[in-house]
Protein backbone atom coordinates (compact mmCIF):
# COMPACT_ATOMS: atom_id res chain seq x y z
CA UNK A 1 0.00 0.00 0.00
CA UNK A 2 1.49 3.32 -1.07
CA UNK A 3 0.07 6.46 0.43
CA UNK A 4 2.02 9.61 -0.40
CA UNK A 5 1.26 12.94 1.12
CA UNK A 6 -1.90 14.07 -0.65
CA UNK A 7 -1.13 17.68 0.18
CA UNK A 8 1.85 17.56 -2.14
CA UNK A 9 -0.52 16.62 -4.94
CA UNK A 10 1.18 13.39 -5.87
CA UNK A 11 -0.70 10.28 -6.89
CA UNK A 12 -1.45 7.80 -4.17
CA UNK A 13 -3.05 4.43 -3.89
CA UNK A 14 -5.53 3.01 -1.44
CA UNK A 15 -5.46 -0.74 -0.87
CA UNK A 16 -3.01 -0.85 -3.76
CA UNK A 17 -5.82 -0.78 -6.30
CA UNK A 18 -7.68 2.52 -6.56
CA UNK A 19 -5.64 5.41 -8.03
CA UNK A 20 -6.60 8.81 -6.66
CA UNK A 21 -5.29 12.31 -7.21
CA UNK A 22 -5.24 15.27 -4.89
CA UNK A 23 -8.80 16.45 -4.19
CA UNK A 24 -10.38 13.29 -5.50
CA UNK A 25 -10.93 11.95 -2.01
CA UNK A 26 -14.20 13.90 -2.11
CA UNK A 27 -15.55 11.79 -4.94
CA UNK A 28 -17.14 8.42 -4.30
CA UNK A 29 -14.70 5.58 -4.57
CA UNK A 30 -15.80 2.53 -6.52
CA UNK A 31 -15.88 -0.19 -3.92
CA UNK A 32 -14.39 -3.55 -4.42
CA UNK A 33 -17.21 -5.58 -2.95
CA UNK A 34 -16.57 -8.85 -1.17
CA UNK A 35 -19.26 -11.49 -1.49
CA UNK A 36 -20.01 -13.53 1.61
CA UNK A 37 -20.99 -16.93 0.23
CA UNK A 38 -22.15 -18.27 3.60
CA UNK A 39 -25.01 -15.74 3.66
CA UNK A 40 -26.69 -17.60 0.81
CA UNK A 41 -30.04 -18.98 1.99
CA UNK A 42 -29.91 -17.15 5.34
CA UNK A 43 -32.84 -14.95 6.36
CA UNK A 44 -32.21 -11.36 7.39
CA UNK A 45 -34.58 -8.87 9.00
CA UNK A 46 -33.61 -5.22 8.65
CA UNK A 47 -35.58 -2.55 10.51
CA UNK A 48 -35.89 0.95 9.05
CA UNK A 49 -35.13 -0.39 5.58
CA UNK A 50 -38.13 0.95 3.67
CA UNK A 51 -36.42 3.90 1.95
CA UNK A 52 -34.24 3.38 -1.11
CA UNK A 53 -31.90 6.17 0.02
CA UNK A 54 -31.32 4.85 3.54
CA UNK A 55 -28.64 2.75 5.17
CA UNK A 56 -31.25 0.07 5.92
CA UNK A 57 -32.07 -0.56 2.28
CA UNK A 58 -28.38 -0.54 1.34
CA UNK A 59 -27.90 -3.29 3.95
CA UNK A 60 -30.88 -5.20 2.55
CA UNK A 61 -29.47 -4.91 -0.99
CA UNK A 62 -26.00 -6.08 0.01
CA UNK A 63 -27.31 -9.07 1.99
CA UNK A 64 -29.64 -9.96 -0.91
CA UNK A 65 -26.70 -9.72 -3.32
CA UNK A 66 -24.95 -12.24 -1.08
CA UNK A 67 -27.95 -14.55 -1.45
CA UNK A 68 -29.84 -13.90 1.81
CA UNK A 69 -33.63 -13.77 1.96
CA UNK A 70 -34.75 -10.36 3.11
CA UNK A 71 -37.40 -8.87 5.34
CA UNK A 72 -37.65 -5.11 5.00
CA UNK A 73 -39.44 -3.63 8.01
CA UNK A 74 -40.33 0.03 8.37
CA UNK A 75 -42.75 2.57 9.76
CA UNK A 76 -45.72 3.48 7.58
CA UNK A 77 -48.82 5.60 7.94
CA UNK A 78 -49.38 8.96 9.57
CA UNK A 79 -46.32 10.42 11.28
CA UNK A 80 -44.94 13.81 12.20
CA UNK A 81 -41.40 12.60 11.58
CA UNK A 82 -40.05 14.23 8.39
CA UNK A 83 -37.59 11.38 7.92
CA UNK A 84 -40.22 8.66 7.56
CA UNK A 85 -41.56 7.87 4.10
CA UNK A 86 -44.55 5.94 5.39
CA UNK A 87 -45.34 4.21 2.12
CA UNK A 88 -46.04 0.47 2.12
CA UNK A 89 -46.45 0.34 -1.68
CA UNK A 90 -42.90 1.69 -2.10
CA UNK A 91 -41.63 -0.88 0.37
CA UNK A 92 -43.34 -3.66 -1.60
CA UNK A 93 -41.67 -2.36 -4.78
CA UNK A 94 -38.27 -2.32 -3.06
CA UNK A 95 -38.75 -5.89 -1.84
CA UNK A 96 -39.84 -7.01 -5.31
CA UNK A 97 -36.76 -5.34 -6.82
CA UNK A 98 -34.54 -7.35 -4.49
CA UNK A 99 -36.20 -10.67 -5.21
CA UNK A 100 -36.20 -9.97 -8.97
CA UNK A 101 -32.58 -8.84 -9.08
CA UNK A 102 -31.01 -11.38 -6.76
CA UNK A 103 -33.42 -14.36 -6.94
CA UNK A 104 -34.02 -14.34 -3.21
CA UNK A 105 -37.24 -14.17 -1.25
CA UNK A 106 -38.04 -10.67 -0.06
CA UNK A 107 -40.89 -9.44 2.08
CA UNK A 108 -41.88 -5.93 3.15
CA UNK A 109 -43.62 -5.55 6.51
CA UNK A 110 -44.93 -2.59 8.44
CA UNK A 111 -43.22 -2.00 11.76
CA UNK A 112 -43.19 0.60 14.46
CA UNK A 113 -40.32 -0.29 16.81
CA UNK A 114 -41.94 1.74 19.58
CA UNK A 115 -45.01 -0.53 19.69
CA UNK A 116 -45.01 -4.08 20.95
CA UNK A 117 -48.29 -4.85 19.15
CA UNK A 118 -46.74 -3.74 15.83
CA UNK A 119 -43.71 -5.97 16.45
CA UNK A 120 -45.99 -8.91 17.25
CA UNK A 121 -47.91 -8.36 13.99
CA UNK A 122 -44.63 -8.21 12.09
CA UNK A 123 -43.46 -11.49 13.66
CA UNK A 124 -46.77 -13.18 12.76
CA UNK A 125 -46.38 -12.06 9.13
CA UNK A 126 -42.75 -13.13 9.02
CA UNK A 127 -43.57 -16.57 10.44
CA UNK A 128 -46.00 -17.20 7.56
CA UNK A 129 -43.09 -16.96 5.11
CA UNK A 130 -39.94 -17.88 7.03
CA UNK A 131 -39.26 -20.53 9.65
CA UNK A 132 -36.49 -18.57 11.35
CA UNK A 133 -34.36 -15.41 11.24
CA UNK A 134 -30.58 -15.75 11.07
CA UNK A 135 -29.60 -12.10 10.91
CA UNK A 136 -31.18 -9.12 12.65
CA UNK A 137 -30.12 -5.59 11.77
CA UNK A 138 -31.56 -3.12 14.27
CA UNK A 139 -31.16 -0.16 11.95
CA UNK A 140 -34.31 1.95 12.57
CA UNK A 141 -33.47 5.28 14.11
CA UNK A 142 -34.47 8.91 14.19
CA UNK A 143 -34.28 12.05 16.29
CA UNK A 144 -36.82 14.47 17.69
CA UNK A 145 -36.44 17.85 19.36
CA UNK A 146 -33.05 18.99 18.03
CA UNK A 147 -31.14 21.20 18.28
CA UNK A 148 -31.40 21.52 22.02
CA UNK A 149 -29.37 21.35 25.16
CA UNK A 150 -30.11 18.53 27.59
CA UNK A 151 -31.45 20.89 30.23
CA UNK A 152 -33.84 22.61 27.82
CA UNK A 153 -34.90 19.51 25.84
CA UNK A 154 -38.62 18.97 25.41
CA UNK A 155 -39.47 15.97 27.59
CA UNK A 156 -41.75 14.30 25.06
CA UNK A 157 -39.15 14.68 22.26
CA UNK A 158 -36.46 13.27 24.57
CA UNK A 159 -38.58 10.24 25.47
CA UNK A 160 -39.58 9.54 21.87
CA UNK A 161 -35.98 9.75 20.67
CA UNK A 162 -34.86 7.27 23.33
CA UNK A 163 -37.86 5.07 22.62
CA UNK A 164 -37.09 4.59 18.92
CA UNK A 165 -33.30 4.38 19.11
CA UNK A 166 -32.81 2.43 22.34
CA UNK A 167 -36.02 0.71 23.40
CA UNK A 168 -36.75 -0.15 19.77
CA UNK A 169 -33.59 -2.27 19.68
CA UNK A 170 -34.65 -3.96 22.92
CA UNK A 171 -38.21 -4.70 21.75
CA UNK A 172 -37.27 -6.05 18.31
CA UNK A 173 -34.38 -8.14 19.67
CA UNK A 174 -36.66 -9.62 22.33
CA UNK A 175 -39.10 -10.71 19.62
CA UNK A 176 -36.53 -11.97 17.11
CA UNK A 177 -33.98 -13.86 19.25
CA UNK A 178 -36.45 -16.73 19.88
CA UNK A 179 -36.70 -17.12 16.09
CA UNK A 180 -32.96 -17.58 15.66
CA UNK A 181 -31.91 -21.14 14.85
CA UNK A 182 -29.99 -23.43 17.20
CA UNK A 183 -26.99 -23.03 14.94
CA UNK A 184 -26.80 -19.39 16.01
CA UNK A 185 -27.17 -16.03 14.36
CA UNK A 186 -25.88 -12.49 14.11
CA UNK A 187 -27.36 -9.26 15.44
CA UNK A 188 -26.02 -5.94 14.23
CA UNK A 189 -27.18 -2.82 16.04
CA UNK A 190 -26.88 0.61 14.44
CA UNK A 191 -25.35 2.95 16.98
CA UNK A 192 -23.42 6.06 15.96
CA UNK A 193 -20.17 7.86 16.57
CA UNK A 194 -22.41 10.04 18.75
CA UNK A 195 -22.50 7.07 21.14
CA UNK A 196 -18.81 7.56 21.86
CA UNK A 197 -18.14 11.24 21.22
CA UNK A 198 -20.83 13.63 22.47
CA UNK A 199 -22.32 15.82 19.76
CA UNK A 200 -23.57 19.28 20.63
CA UNK A 201 -27.32 19.80 21.03
CA UNK A 202 -28.28 16.20 20.23
CA UNK A 203 -28.26 14.69 23.71
CA UNK A 204 -31.22 12.33 23.54
CA UNK A 205 -29.94 10.64 20.39
CA UNK A 206 -26.39 10.34 21.75
CA UNK A 207 -27.66 8.97 25.06
CA UNK A 208 -29.85 6.41 23.30
CA UNK A 209 -27.03 5.29 21.00
CA UNK A 210 -24.63 4.98 23.95
CA UNK A 211 -27.27 2.76 25.55
CA UNK A 212 -27.32 0.66 22.39
CA UNK A 213 -23.60 -0.02 22.87
CA UNK A 214 -24.10 -1.31 26.41
CA UNK A 215 -27.09 -3.38 25.31
CA UNK A 216 -24.93 -4.82 22.50
CA UNK A 217 -22.22 -5.89 24.93
CA UNK A 218 -24.71 -7.29 27.43
CA UNK A 219 -26.51 -9.29 24.74
CA UNK A 220 -23.21 -10.49 23.31
CA UNK A 221 -22.33 -12.00 26.69
CA UNK A 222 -25.77 -13.44 27.28
CA UNK A 223 -26.14 -14.96 23.80
CA UNK A 224 -22.60 -16.19 23.16
CA UNK A 225 -23.51 -19.65 24.46
CA UNK A 226 -26.34 -19.83 21.93
CA UNK A 227 -23.94 -19.03 19.10
CA UNK A 228 -25.52 -15.63 18.52
CA UNK A 229 -23.02 -12.86 17.98
CA UNK A 230 -24.07 -9.30 18.75
CA UNK A 231 -22.16 -6.31 17.43
CA UNK A 232 -22.79 -2.62 16.89
CA UNK A 233 -21.68 -0.25 14.19
CA UNK A 234 -20.84 3.38 14.82
CA UNK A 235 -21.20 5.33 11.57
CA UNK A 236 -19.89 8.87 11.29
CA UNK A 237 -21.59 11.07 8.72
CA UNK A 238 -23.18 8.96 6.01
CA UNK A 239 -25.00 10.49 3.04
CA UNK A 240 -28.68 9.66 3.54
CA UNK A 241 -31.94 11.57 4.11
CA UNK A 242 -30.97 11.75 7.78
CA UNK A 243 -27.79 13.63 6.92
CA UNK A 244 -29.43 15.84 4.27
CA UNK A 245 -32.04 16.78 6.87
CA UNK A 246 -29.28 17.47 9.39
CA UNK A 247 -27.39 19.82 7.03
CA UNK A 248 -30.65 21.64 6.21
CA UNK A 249 -31.37 22.08 9.91
CA UNK A 250 -27.83 23.26 10.72
CA UNK A 251 -27.97 25.74 7.83
CA UNK A 252 -31.21 27.13 9.18
CA UNK A 253 -29.89 27.57 12.71
CA UNK A 254 -26.43 28.79 11.78
CA UNK A 255 -27.48 31.12 8.97
CA UNK A 256 -25.53 29.09 6.45
CA UNK A 257 -26.33 26.77 3.53
CA UNK A 258 -26.52 22.97 3.48
CA UNK A 259 -23.65 22.93 0.95
CA UNK A 260 -21.42 24.96 3.28
CA UNK A 261 -22.32 22.76 6.25
CA UNK A 262 -21.43 19.68 4.24
CA UNK A 263 -18.13 21.19 3.06
CA UNK A 264 -17.19 22.12 6.63
CA UNK A 265 -18.03 18.63 7.83
CA UNK A 266 -15.86 17.08 5.11
CA UNK A 267 -12.93 19.19 6.31
CA UNK A 268 -13.26 17.58 9.76
CA UNK A 269 -13.12 14.06 8.33
CA UNK A 270 -9.61 12.69 7.77
CA UNK A 271 -10.70 10.87 4.60
CA UNK A 272 -12.17 14.15 3.38
CA UNK A 273 -15.65 12.99 2.46
CA UNK A 274 -18.90 11.63 3.83
CA UNK A 275 -19.45 7.89 3.97
CA UNK A 276 -21.85 6.10 1.65
CA UNK A 277 -24.70 3.82 2.60
CA UNK A 278 -23.03 1.02 0.61
CA UNK A 279 -19.88 1.31 2.69
CA UNK A 280 -21.93 0.83 5.86
CA UNK A 281 -23.75 -2.09 4.23
CA UNK A 282 -20.42 -3.79 3.48
CA UNK A 283 -19.43 -3.60 7.14
CA UNK A 284 -22.79 -5.02 8.19
CA UNK A 285 -22.47 -7.90 5.70
CA UNK A 286 -19.05 -8.71 7.16
CA UNK A 287 -20.52 -8.77 10.67
CA UNK A 288 -23.44 -10.91 9.49
CA UNK A 289 -21.15 -13.43 7.83
CA UNK A 290 -18.87 -16.11 9.22
CA UNK A 291 -15.92 -13.97 8.13
CA UNK A 292 -16.43 -12.27 11.51
CA UNK A 293 -17.08 -15.53 13.40
CA UNK A 294 -14.74 -14.58 16.28
CA UNK A 295 -16.07 -11.04 16.70
CA UNK A 296 -18.80 -10.30 19.22
CA UNK A 297 -19.65 -7.50 21.64
CA UNK A 298 -17.80 -4.93 19.50
CA UNK A 299 -18.74 -1.46 18.36
CA UNK A 300 -16.99 -0.86 15.05
CA UNK A 301 -16.35 2.68 13.87
CA UNK A 302 -17.04 3.60 10.26
CA UNK A 303 -16.29 7.29 10.34
CA UNK A 304 -13.65 8.08 7.71
CA UNK A 305 -11.15 8.38 10.54
CA UNK A 306 -13.11 10.74 12.77
CA UNK A 307 -13.01 8.18 15.55
CA UNK A 308 -9.83 6.17 15.90
CA UNK A 309 -10.34 4.32 19.14
CA UNK A 310 -13.03 2.40 20.89
P1 LIG B 1 -32.93 7.47 7.57
O2 LIG B 1 -33.66 8.53 8.29
O3 LIG B 1 -32.71 7.60 6.11
O4 LIG B 1 -33.61 6.04 7.84
C5 LIG B 1 -34.07 5.68 9.14
C6 LIG B 1 -35.18 4.70 8.98
O7 LIG B 1 -35.69 4.38 10.28
C8 LIG B 1 -36.34 5.26 8.15
O9 LIG B 1 -36.66 4.36 7.12
C10 LIG B 1 -37.46 5.40 9.16
O11 LIG B 1 -38.75 5.20 8.61
C12 LIG B 1 -37.10 4.31 10.18
N13 LIG B 1 -37.78 4.55 11.44
C14 LIG B 1 -37.84 5.69 12.16
N15 LIG B 1 -38.65 5.52 13.22
C16 LIG B 1 -39.09 4.23 13.18
C17 LIG B 1 -39.95 3.46 13.99
N18 LIG B 1 -40.56 3.98 15.08
N19 LIG B 1 -40.20 2.18 13.66
C20 LIG B 1 -39.62 1.63 12.55
N21 LIG B 1 -38.80 2.32 11.73
C22 LIG B 1 -38.54 3.61 12.05
O23 LIG B 1 -31.53 7.31 8.32
P24 LIG B 1 -30.22 6.53 7.95
O25 LIG B 1 -29.15 7.52 7.74
O26 LIG B 1 -30.48 5.52 6.92
O27 LIG B 1 -29.92 5.85 9.37
C28 LIG B 1 -30.04 4.46 9.64
C29 LIG B 1 -29.48 4.20 11.03
O30 LIG B 1 -28.11 4.60 11.08
C31 LIG B 1 -30.19 4.96 12.13
O32 LIG B 1 -30.28 4.16 13.29
C33 LIG B 1 -29.27 6.14 12.38
O34 LIG B 1 -29.40 6.65 13.69
C35 LIG B 1 -27.92 5.49 12.16
N36 LIG B 1 -26.86 6.44 11.84
C37 LIG B 1 -26.91 7.20 10.71
C38 LIG B 1 -25.89 8.08 10.43
C39 LIG B 1 -25.87 8.94 9.23
O40 LIG B 1 -24.95 9.77 9.10
N41 LIG B 1 -26.78 8.80 8.28
C42 LIG B 1 -24.75 8.25 11.36
C43 LIG B 1 -24.82 7.39 12.51
C44 LIG B 1 -25.82 6.53 12.73
Check: pTM over 0.75? Answer yes or no.
yes
How confident is the model over 272-298, as a mean pLDDT? 98
Give the residues across from 115 on adjacent strands.
Answer: none
The topology under which CATH files domain 34-302 is Rossmann fold (3.40.50)
Tell me which of 60 and 87 has the higher pLDDT. Answer: 60
Determine the distance separating the centroid of ligand 1 and the alpha carbon of 45, expressed in angstroms: 15
Q: Round to whole Å and give the CA distance between 161 and 256.
A: 26
Contacts of 224 (CB under 8 A, 6+ apart): 296
Determine the distance separating the centroid of ligand 1 and the alpha carbon of 283, expressed in angstroms: 16
Residue nearest to atom 4 of ligand 1 (CA): 54
Contacts of 3 (CB under 8 A, 6+ apart): 12, 13, 14
H, E, C per residue of 89-118: HHHHHHHHHHHHHHCCCEEEEECCCCCHHH
Catalytic residue among 57, 205, 294, 310: 205
Average pLDDT, the chain: 90
* Burial track 257-274 (b if 16+ CB lie within 10 A, e otherwise): ebeebbeebbeebebbbb
Residue nearest to atom 31 of ligand 1 (CA): 141
pLDDT tens, residue by residue, 199-243: 999 999 999 999 999 999 999 999 999 999 999 999 999 999 999
| Contact by Cβ (8 Å): 86, 79 | yes
Q: Round to whole Å and give the CA distance between 69 and 304.
A: 30
- Which among 54, 82, 141 is the best mutation to test ligand 1's pocket, defined by most ligand atoms within 8 Å of the CB? 141
Which atom of ligand 1 is closest in space to residue 237's alpha carbon?
A: 40
Predicted local confidence at residue 12, as pLDDT: 29
Helix axes 241-253 and 258-268, enclosed angle (nearest 10): 110
Q: Round to whole Å and give the CA distance between 20 and 212.
A: 37
Q: Round to whole Å and give the CA distance between 94 and 204.
A: 31
Which atom of ligand 1 is closest in space to residue 163's alpha carbon?
A: 18
Which of these, 217, 238, 241, lies nearest to 229 by C-alpha position? Answer: 217
Ligand 1 proximity of 211 Cβ (cutoff 6 Å): no
pLDDT tens, residue by residue, 105-156: 999 999 999 999 999 999 999 999 999 999 999 999 999 999 999 999 999 9
Q: Round to whole Å and give the CA distance between 148 and 85.
A: 25
Ligand 1 proximity of 275 Cβ (cutoff 6 Å): no
Which of these, 71, 63, 62, 61, lies nearest to 130 by C-alpha position? Answer: 71
- Would you call 36 a catalytic residue per the annotation? no
Amino acid sequence: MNIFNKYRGVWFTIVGKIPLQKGMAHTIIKLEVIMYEDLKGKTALITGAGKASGIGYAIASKLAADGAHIIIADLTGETTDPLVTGDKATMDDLANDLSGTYSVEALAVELDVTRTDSIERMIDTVKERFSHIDILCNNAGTVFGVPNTVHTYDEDAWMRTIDVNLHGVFRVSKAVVPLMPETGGSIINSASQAAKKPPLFNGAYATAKAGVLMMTKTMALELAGAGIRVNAICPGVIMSDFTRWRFDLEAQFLDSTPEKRKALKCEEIPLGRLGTTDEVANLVAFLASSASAYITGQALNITGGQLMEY
